[in-house]
């Protein structure tokens, strides 16, 4: 099979399809075990857009009943600098939030601001419990202290795309996580 057009822009694969499969299997087992004795619903909350591929694969491997929901948020930026404030574009709109054990699903943690804010936001809004799950974690980029309950893989500070992650809305459909060639984003 010939390499995809977008695949040609990838310097090297950082997390292969096989490794992603092993990660989603492991995390699904951990989730099944950890929520076994929890009362209430388990709600997987996908943070759009980057988490949609990870969420889709992970939810198929969780054996206990789950509901799914979606939010879309972004950081307010000042030029290229993040101000650290989070804007909600699509909110969670549930009347049963007090019965929900919410597990936030992210593709990546960078500064930590998104998950830190969202965890607090959902608690304040009355969620029964809030935990977090991320495919990728870049601890070297943290601006606020935050650690996720479930982590697929800790990675170095590289520009990664694929498996949901984008550069200018491209590369999300690649089936693996790869490091983008510098020449693509340095003009």
Given the residues 57, 107, 110, 137, select the one marked as catalytic: 110
Q: d(Cα 40, Cα 79) in Å, to the nearest integer?
A: 43
Interaction site with ligand PRP (CB under 6 A)? 47-50, 74, 106-114, 166
Q: How far is the CB of 47 from ligand PRP (least distance, A)?
A: 5
Task: Give the position of tokens 């991320």.
Answer: 134
Shortest Cβ contact with ligand PRP: which residue? 50
Q: d(Cα 182, Cα 184) in Å, to the nearest integer?
A: 5
Task: Give the position of tokens 């009347």.
Answer: 95
Partners of 73 in the beta sheet? Answer: 88
- The residues near 78 (Cβ < 8 Å, ≥ 6 apart) are none
Q: Say how many C-beta atoms besides its own lie within 10 A of residue 181's C-beta.
A: 14
Nearer to ligand PRP, 9 or 110 (CB): 110
Q: How far is the CB of 110 from ligand PRP (least distance, A)?
A: 3
Nearer to ligand PRP, 111 or 129 (CB): 111
Nearer to ligand PRP, 99 or 111 (CB): 111
9 is known as an active-site residue: no
Q: How far is the CB of 119 from ligand PRP (least distance, A)?
A: 12
Q: Catalytic residues, which ones?
A: 110
């Amino acid at each position: 099979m010939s390499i995809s057009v977008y695949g040609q822009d990838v310097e090297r694969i950082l997390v292969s399809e096989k490794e992603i499969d092993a990660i989603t299997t492991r995390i699904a087992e951990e989730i099944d075990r950890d929520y076994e004795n929890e009362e209430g619903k388990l709600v997987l909350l996908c943070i759009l857009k980057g988490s949609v591929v990870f969420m889709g694969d992970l939810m198929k491997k969780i054996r206990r009943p789950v509901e799914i929901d979606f939010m879309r948020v972004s950081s307010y930026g000042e030029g290229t600098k993040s101000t650290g404030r989070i804007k909600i574009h699509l909110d969670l709109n549930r009347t049963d939030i007090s019965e929900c054990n919410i597990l936030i699903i992210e593709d990546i943690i960078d500064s930590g601001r998104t998950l830190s804010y969202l965890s607090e936001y959902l608690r304040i809004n009355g969620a029964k419990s809030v935990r977090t799950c991320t495919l990728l974690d870049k601890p070297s980029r943290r601006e606020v202290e935050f650690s996720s309950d479930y982590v697929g893989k800790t990675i170095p500070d590289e520009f990664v795309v694929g498996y949901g992650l984008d550069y200018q809305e491209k590369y999300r459909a690649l089936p693996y996580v790869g490091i983008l060639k510098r020449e693509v984003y340095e003009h």
